[in-house]
Structure 1
Amino acid sequence: MGDQISPQPPANRTHFHIAIICALPREADAVTLLFDHFWDDERDLYGRADGDMNTYITGRIGDHNVVLAILPSMGTNDAAAATASLRSSYNNLKLAVLVGICGGLPRIANLDAFLGDVVVSKAIIQYDYGRQYPGHFAVRNRVEDSLGRASKDIRSLLAVFQTEVMRTRLRRDASKHLKHLQEKAKIERRRADYRYPGTAQDTLYPPAYAHKHRTSCDWCTASDFCDLASKMSCADVGCGLADRLIREHSVEEANFSPEIFIGRVGSGNTIIKSGQDRDRIANAHNIIAFETEGAGAWDEVPCIVVKGICDYADNHKNEVWEDFAAATAAAVMKAILGRYIVHDRDSGFSQN
């Protein structure tokens, strides 16, 4: 059997049809573990358009040449500016995937959602864009105010992913990619810990249960918010184990496969850290998760948000899941790209 021929780098930027966008370096670190080849190991081959301030990582994932952009900071404004620059340099993009971590609803479509599961957007709602009336905030979500529908190509892709047979295939593929990511991280001695943290670390409290000091604290006595407590873990402030909501995990910890939920994702510059506000906004707009970049990127490129649930969008601090949730999102992203069909004209294939 002969040596496998390595793929050749594309001739120029017009041959890149897939972009991956991450808001945080830790999110990009997980994604790069699933690159099959890098085109910029030695140097940047492709440059950028005049006025583009982004720095890119280029390579190949499966059958696709991809360009990875890391945002300068979180938020819809930075996402919009960076994505517009991305589009100016890579003007033949067919799909952008926003990959990273998010706050998720603990129950989605009558199913329990757990930390490490992944949400995929079929629409974006900018939940903090609207009008503030006395005692009432009205989100502007009429047709003429909305961020628009996804492209037909993306809507068709997501419709297929919502079938049971394809959902099973995506979960199977994502599980395989997650294991590969974890093994490669060990080989490369990455500092992030991509191991499954365990069900004991997946704690959920009632929406009204405040994360505050349970011992003497003037701020916590006067209100349900304390800046010092907000930076501490539940164990440190004394959130009671007996107060947790008990849910049955049907996961094999040694063989974790993320559940994949497809629905409307809330996007805005306001990070939701309140269980009560989470439920109020989600119920009003049928939202399954909250993140901070999708609304900025949505109008610039045809995009899908793929994010791992690292917390329940409440005020109970838990950083243990961030690296693992970034890894599960990256794994689902690669599974999606594995099912994304390139058009003949884009792949270079032609029929006689």
Structure 2
Amino acid sequence: MAPLVQKTHDAYTVGILCAMDLERNAVRYMLDGEHQRLRAQSGDSNSYTLGELHGHNVVLACLPSQQGKGAAATVATNMSRSFPSIKWRLFVGIGGGVPSAKHDIRLGDVVISMPEGEHAGVVQYDLGRETNSGFELKGFLWPLPALLRNAAQDMRSNHLGRGNRIEEYMEAMFKKWPRMAAYKEPLEPDVLFRADFPHTPGALACSRGCDPSQAVADRRVSLKAPKSTTG
């Protein structure tokens, strides 16, 4: 195996932050190649994975065992201090609770946050209050940079007519890293159950023990052709 490429801290322009190790591993093994680790900067307790993705030098970090915006802010601050040339910062991970009547999002879809109305596309839910008519947001975060918003719009337009290459990228990852097979999409249909339905403890799939009468029938979908969406 050829020795890993070593670059300087200034060479990295894209920072990716994940909340969980499960998410970090999914990003790590999609890199086109990894780079040699660099000496930690003074006062920086983060652990970084360095590499290249589609021609960009990427630095990847994960939150420590504790979660929350405080831990995320610390990791992001340390990353910015150690890698001063970072221009784009992405928070990548699993989206829980995102399906809605407006956005038909299914298991296997790729979701990119986009501004809408007065909201920037990223919602900080502690800036709000629960009312009789629902959750009322108070304030909002700054929107994504225009360059990233335009790139997302271009991608949505491209996928409308040409499809996407998600399956191709996933198959390439599984071929290169066979142990990542655990990240394959389920071969069975995606079945959405009622929110208050108690699933069978320890079951790897809902088809093994969960009561099918408790499923929301119109949410069944085959995962043969994953799509990307924005919302």
Q: TM-score range by the shorter chain?
A: 0.7 to 0.9
Are the structure 2 counterparts of residues 107 and 13 from structure 1 closer, same or farther at C-alpha, using a change threshold of 3 Å?
Answer: same
Query: C-alpha displacement at 1:148, in angstroms?
Result: 0.8
- Alignment of 1:24 onto 2:12: no
**Alignment partner of 2:95: what SS?**
strand
Q: 1:140 pairs with 138, 141, 151, which one?
A: 138
On the 8 A contact 2:191/2:219 being kept in 1, the answer is no
**Alignment partner of 1:124: what SS?**
coil
Aligned residue for 2:187?
A: 198
CA radius of gyration, larger in: 1
Amino acid at match of 1:28: R
On the 8 A contact 2:128/2:136 being kept in 1, the answer is yes
Are the structure 2 counterparts of residues 128 and 168 from structure 1 closer, same or farther at C-alpha, using a change threshold of 3 Å?
Answer: farther
Are the structure 2 counterparts of residues 132 and 205 from structure 1 closer, same or farther at C-alpha, using a change threshold of 3 Å?
Answer: closer
* Structure 1 gaps, min length 5: 1-5, 213-228, 264-352
Query: C-alpha displacement at 1:140, in angstroms?
Result: 1.4
Q: 1:120 pairs with 92, 112, 119, which one?
A: 112
On the 8 A contact 1:211/1:230 being kept in 2, the answer is no
**Superposed CA offset, 1:190-218 (max 9, x none):** 5x612321234x221345xx224xxxxxx
1-structure distance, mates of 2:122, 2:184: 30
Query: C-alpha displacement at 1:184, in angstroms?
Result: 2.2
Q: How do 1:71-82 residues align onto structure 2 when only pairs under 5 Å count?
A: 71-72=63-64, 73-82=66-75
**Alignment partner of 2:123: what SS?**
strand
Task: Provide the alpha-carbon RMSD of the alignment.
Answer: 3.3
Aligned residue for 1:289?
A: none
Aligned residue for 2:227?
A: 259
Amino acid at match of 2:19: A
Are the structure 2 counterparts of residues 249 and 132 from structure 1 closer, same or farther at C-alpha, using a change threshold of 3 Å?
Answer: closer
**Alignment partner of 2:147: what SS?**
helix
Q: 1:99 pairs with 71, 78, 92, which one?
A: 92
**Superposed CA offset, 1:262-289 (max 9, x none):** 12xxxxxxxxxxxxxxxxxxxxxxxxxx
**Alignment partner of 2:108: what SS?**
coil
Amino acid at match of 2:147: D
Aligned residue for 1:317?
A: none
Query: C-alpha displacement at 1:248, in angstroms?
Result: 6.8
Aligned residue for 1:246?
A: 217
Query: C-alpha displacement at 1:121, in angstroms?
Result: 1.1
Q: How do 1:60-79 residues align onto structure 2 when only pairs under 5 Å count?
A: 60-72=52-64, 73-79=66-72
- Alignment of 1:211 onto 2:207: no
Amino acid at match of 2:124: Q
**Alignment partner of 2:96: what SS?**
strand
1-structure distance, mates of 2:164, 2:130: 45
Amino acid at match of 1:91: P
Are the structure 2 counterparts of residues 257 and 49 from structure 1 closer, same or farther at C-alpha, using a change threshold of 3 Å?
Answer: farther
Query: C-alpha displacement at 1:99, in angstroms?
Result: 2.0
**Alignment partner of 2:67: what SS?**
coil
- Alignment of 1:52 onto 2:35: no
1-structure distance, mates of 2:218, 2:131: 38
Amino acid at match of 1:20: I
Q: How do 1:268-307 residues align onto structure 2 when only pairs under 5 Å count?
A: none
On the 8 A contact 2:197/2:214 being kept in 1, the answer is no
Q: How do 1:110-189 residues align onto structure 2 when only pairs under 5 Å count?
A: 112-122=104-114, 123-131=121-129, 138-141=136-139, 146-163=140-157, 165-167=158-160, 171-186=163-178, 189=179
Query: C-alpha displacement at 1:160, in angstroms?
Result: 1.9
Aligned residue for 2:30?
A: 34
1-structure distance, mates of 2:44, 2:182: 33
1-structure distance, mates of 2:220, 2:200: 27
Give the TM-score normalised by structure 2: 0.79
On the 8 A contact 1:199/1:249 being kept in 2, the answer is no
On the 8 A contact 2:159/2:228 being kept in 1, the answer is no
Amino acid at match of 1:116: G
On the 8 A contact 2:32/2:53 being kept in 1, the answer is yes
1-structure distance, mates of 2:206, 2:135: 35
2-structure distance, mates of 1:119, 1:193: 21
Identity %: 26
How many residue pairs get aligned? The number is 221
**Alignment partner of 1:81: what SS?**
helix
